[in-house]
Amino acid sequence: GDFHLVKRVPANNLCVLFLCAPVVTILSRSHADRNVYPSAGVLFVHVLEREHFKGEFPPYPKPGDSSNDPITFNTNLMGYPDRPGWLRYIQRTSHSDGVLYGSPTAEHVGKATIIEITAYNRRTFETARHNLVINIMSTEDYPLPYQAEFFIKNMNVEEMLASEVLGDFLGAVKNVWQPERLNAINITSALDRGGRVPLPINNLKEGVYVMVGADVQFSSCLREVENPHNQLRCSQEMEPVISCDKKFRAQFDIDWCKINLVDITKVVTIHSNRPDPGTGVLPDIGEYNPPSESLKSRDFFADFLITLAVPSAVAMVLFTILGYSMCCRREGVDKRNMQTPDIQLVHHSSIQKSTKELRSMSKNREISWPLSTLPVFSQSGEVVPPIHPDNYETTSMPLMQTQT
Mean pLDDT computed over every residue of the chain: 78
pLDDT digits (tens, 9 = 90+) for 375-391: 555 555 555 555 545 55
Instruction: Tell me the whole-structure pTM to 2 decimals.
Output: 0.57
Q: What's the rounded Cα separation, in Å, for the pair 201 and 256?
A: 24
**Do 164 and 214 fall within a single domain?**
yes
* Residue 252, C-beta contacts closer than 8 angstroms, at least 6 positions apart: 152, 154, 155, 169, 172
Residue count of the chain: 404
pLDDT at 139: 79
pLDDT digits (tens, 9 = 90+) for 55-90: 778 776 666 555 678 899 999 999 899 899 899 999
Q: Are 36 and 133 in contact (CB under 8 A)?
A: yes
**Do 262 and 167 fall within a single domain?**
yes
Q: How deeply is 387 buried, as exposed, middle or buried, from its count of CB atoms within 10 A (0-12, 13-18, 19+)? A: exposed
3-state secondary structure of 46: strand
**Do 169 and 248 fall within a single domain?**
yes
Q: Give the domain range for residue 235.
A: 144-267
Which among 86, 159, 82, 70 is positioned nearest to 119, based on CA atoms? 70
**Do 104 and 219 fall within a single domain?**
no
Which CATH number goes with the domain that contains 127?
Answer: 2.60.40.10
Q: Are 57 and 124 in contact (CB under 8 A)?
A: yes
User: Which of the pair, 329 or 233, is modelled with greater confidence?
Assistant: 233
Residue 329: pLDDT above 80?
no
pLDDT at 106: 84
pLDDT at 17: 31
**Do 13 and 79 fall within a single domain?**
yes
Asked whether residue 97 is domain-assigned, the answer is yes
Poorest-confidence range of 26-40, 62-76, 329-343?
A: 26-40
pLDDT at 2: 41
Which among 258, 266, 247 is positioned nearest to 188, based on CA atoms? 258
Write the CA distances from 176 to 179, 223, 243, 288, 329, integer angstroms. Answer: 9, 11, 10, 68, 95
**224, 245, 267: which is the final residue of a domain?**
267
DSSP letters for 82-101: S--TTEEEE-SSTTS-EEEE
The confidence band for 21, taking pLDDT boundaries of 50, 70 and 90, is: very low
* Residue 233, C-beta contacts closer than 8 angstroms, at least 6 positions apart: 239, 240, 241
- Nearest 5°: the CA angle 181, 186, 192 is 160
Domain count, the chain: 2
**Do 7 and 81 fall within a single domain?**
yes
Q: What's the rounded Cα separation, in Å, for the pair 57 and 54?
A: 6
DSSP letters for 266-323: SPPPPPP-PPPP--S---------PPPS-PPPPP-HHHHIIIIIHHHHHHHHHHHHHH
Please count the other Cβ atoms lying within 10 Å of the Cβ belonging to residue 22. Answer: 20
**113, 140, 167: which is the final residue of a domain?**
140
pLDDT digits (tens, 9 = 90+) for 218-261: 988 889 988 999 999 999 989 899 888 888 888 899 999 999 99
Would you call the peptide bond into 143 cis, given omega within 30 degrees of 0 as the criterion?
Answer: yes
Asked whether residue 188 is domain-assigned, the answer is yes
**Looking at the DSSP assignment, which residues form a beta bridge with residue 115?**
77, 132
**Do 48 and 180 fall within a single domain?**
no
**Do 118 and 150 fall within a single domain?**
no
